[in-house]
Amino acid sequence: MAQSNKIFKNWNGHRIVYINKLEKKINYYFKNVDLLEEAITHSSYQRNDLKIKNNNYERLEFLGDRVLGLVLSEYFFKTYPNAKEGVLDNYFQRHANQENLFNYAKKINLSTYLKTQKGDDLENNKSILSDVVEAMIGAIYIDTGLNNCKKFILNNIIDKNLISEPSKHPKSILQEYCLEKFKTLPKYSILNKFGNEHEPIYEVCVHVENHDMVSATGSNLKNAEEAAAAKLLDMLKI
């Protein structure tokens, strides 16, 4: 049985113990611990608890994603005053992407604290664990405001190794190409979303002037857009 399920079975009897353990790992202690519990509750759990309705991480993840974006953007803007927009965007994408957030989740063993439906094993689910990290950021913001969010993000999400020797992502390369050649940005749009609720697949298309639309799929919007950009760059031989 997965370790996360062991904790799931003991949640009701040892709620505060597990909350305190997680608070110690993230080095932030909540005034309202209900916010942290909501941030680590998967939507599958509420189907087993009629007392909890819509009380899962999804709304906090929505907020945390925006707060993370703001904090990272401000940090890179102020820390690298001579960097061009493309370089700043590269730094941003490296830190806001699913892989970086998942690495932090693995570091603190976050999957062992999730409240999920019995039988779920989310230890290697990048999509859900990265979303929960964003949900915790949203919870901290609601709990005590932006300054503590900044401390959490700068201490835990910023990775100096991701800043040195930046390599350009396909989206960044395509963006620079379009700005130079067409004086406009590439346009991305969602064509489809399919798969199960826990692991959806997105189909995204990208369009630039004077070229046919190109589509690709990914486990989230960011990955799908990167894949579409890479496919178009290959067609353009860039």
DSSP states of 146-190: HHHHHHHHHHHT--GGGTSS----HHHHHHHHHHHHHSS--EEEE
Side by side, the strands of the sheet bearing 201-207 are 187-194, 201-207, 214-218
Once rounded to an integer, what is the mean pLDDT over residues 198-224?
88
Instruction: Answer left, alpha or beta for residue 191, where phi above 0 means left and psi between -120 and 50 means alpha.
Output: alpha
This prediction has a pTM of 0.64
Question: Does pLDDT of 105 surpass 60?
Answer: yes
- Report the relative pairing of strands 201-207 and 214-218 from DSSP bridges: antiparallel
pLDDT tier for residue 2 given thresholds of 50, 70 and 90: very low
Q: Which pLDDT does position 120 carry in this prediction?
A: 62
pLDDT tier for residue 123 given thresholds of 50, 70 and 90: confident
**C-alpha atoms less than 13 angstroms from C-alpha of 189 in its C-beta half-sphere:** 6
pLDDT tier for residue 3 given thresholds of 50, 70 and 90: very low
- Domains of the chain listed by start with CATH number: 3-162 (1.10.1520.10), 170-236 (3.30.160.20)
pLDDT tier for residue 106 given thresholds of 50, 70 and 90: very high
Question: Does pLDDT of 30 surpass 90?
Answer: yes
12 against 230, higher pLDDT: 230
Once rounded to an integer, what is the mean pLDDT over residues 131-151?
96
Cβ proximity of 170 and 58 under 8 Å: no
pLDDT tier for residue 46 given thresholds of 50, 70 and 90: low
Average pLDDT over the chain, rounded to whole? 84
pLDDT digits (tens, 9 = 90+) for 79-98: 988 888 878 888 898 899 99
Degrees to nearest 5, angle at CA 124 with 123 and 128? 85
The residues annotated as belonging to the active site are 65, 134
Long-range (24+ apart) CB contacts under 8 A made by 27-36 are 27/152, 27/155, 28/140, 28/148, 28/152, 30/139, 30/140, 30/143, 31/143, 31/144, 32/142, 32/143, 35/60, 35/139, 35/142, 35/143, 36/136, 36/139
